[in-house]
């Protein structure tokens, strides 16, 4: 439980910051690099890159710490194409951030309005996905994974392609996974995962009032 320990200290510093400073409305400087891939205000137009807008600050901070610890795939190939090349990979990029920058970036992107991905879905599979979600996932990803206080990321309206690849990373152990989520994910067949992702695609435009975002390609 390395993360548990790190997290407590991050939360403590986030709380201290909240008391000592009014909410920052200006984007932190380090956000310039992030939006090159994650899109303006953290709304991604690339289905392989997650939107990071509107997720909880706790979740976003946690992911940056997980990258610092290299407990998620470091996505090197994406960085090879980036121009200018900001860092060797996502883990190195996270490792270059100070503790304050991690907190500021998490708060900044959490403050942005999430916009659902405009993506097609298979209606029958989405229906199957709805009941799978209810049974296996809803407890921690309530309201189709749009309730940000769950601190578990955003599922409905997130790009399907990204969700598919991160679900594979959980299954293979390449991404650190909450202990309680693991037994649920292990119960799923490949078809179950596909159905769940069709459900999150269907729910995206239904659950969010904000304007859907189109893929850039």
CB of 214 to ligand HEC, least distance (A): 19
Contact 162, 48 (CB under 8 A): yes
CB of 28 to ligand HEC, least distance (A): 9
CB of 217 to ligand HEC, least distance (A): 15
Question: Is 115 one of the binding residues for ligand HEC (CB under 6 A)?
Answer: no
Question: Which residues within the stretch 81-100 sit at the binding site for ligand HEC (CB under 6 A)?
Answer: 82, 86, 90, 93
Question: Which residues within the stretch 173-212 sit at the binding site for ligand HEC (CB under 6 A)?
Answer: 178, 180-181, 184-185, 188, 196
Partners of residue 213 on adjacent β-strands: 117
Annotate each residue in 46-85 with x if it binds ligand HEC (CB under 6 A) or - if it does not, as one string.
---xx-x------xx-xxx-x-----xx-x--xx--x---
CB of 36 to ligand HEC, least distance (A): 5
Question: Is 171 one of the binding residues for ligand HEC (CB under 6 A)?
Answer: no
Binding residues for ligand HEC (CB under 6 A): 30, 33-34, 36-38, 49-50, 52, 59-60, 62-64, 66, 72-73, 75, 78-79, 82, 86, 90, 93, 105, 136-137, 139-141, 152-153, 155, 163, 165-167, 178, 180-181, 184-185, 188, 196
């Amino acid at each position: 439980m390395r993360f548990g320990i790190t997290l407590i200290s991050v939360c403590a510093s986030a709380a201290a910051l909240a008391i000592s400073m009014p909410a920052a409305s200006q984007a932190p400087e380090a956000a310039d690099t992030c939006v090159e891939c994650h899109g303006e205000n953290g709304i991604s137009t690339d289905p392989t890159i997650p939107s990071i807008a509107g997720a909880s600050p706790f979740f976003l901070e946690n992911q940056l710490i997980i990258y610092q610890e290299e407990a998620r795939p470091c996505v090197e190939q994406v960085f090879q194409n980036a121009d200018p090349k900001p860092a060797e990979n996502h883990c190195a990029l996270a490792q270059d951030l100070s503790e304050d920058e991690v907190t500021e970036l998490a708060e900044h992107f959490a403050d942005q309005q999430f916009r659902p991905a405009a993506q097609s879905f298979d209606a029958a599979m989405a229906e199957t996905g709805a009941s799978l979600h209810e049974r296996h996932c809803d407890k921690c990803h309530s309201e189709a994974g749009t309730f940000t206080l769950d601190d578990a990321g955003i599922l409905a309206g997130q790009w399907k392609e990204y969700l598919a690849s991160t679900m594979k990373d959980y299954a293979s152990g390449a991404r650190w996974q909450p202990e309680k989520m693991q037994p649920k994910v292990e119960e799923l067949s490949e078809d179950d995962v596909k159905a769940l992702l069709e459900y999150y695609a269907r729910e995206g435009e239904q659950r969010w009032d904000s304007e859907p975002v189109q893929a850039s390609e």
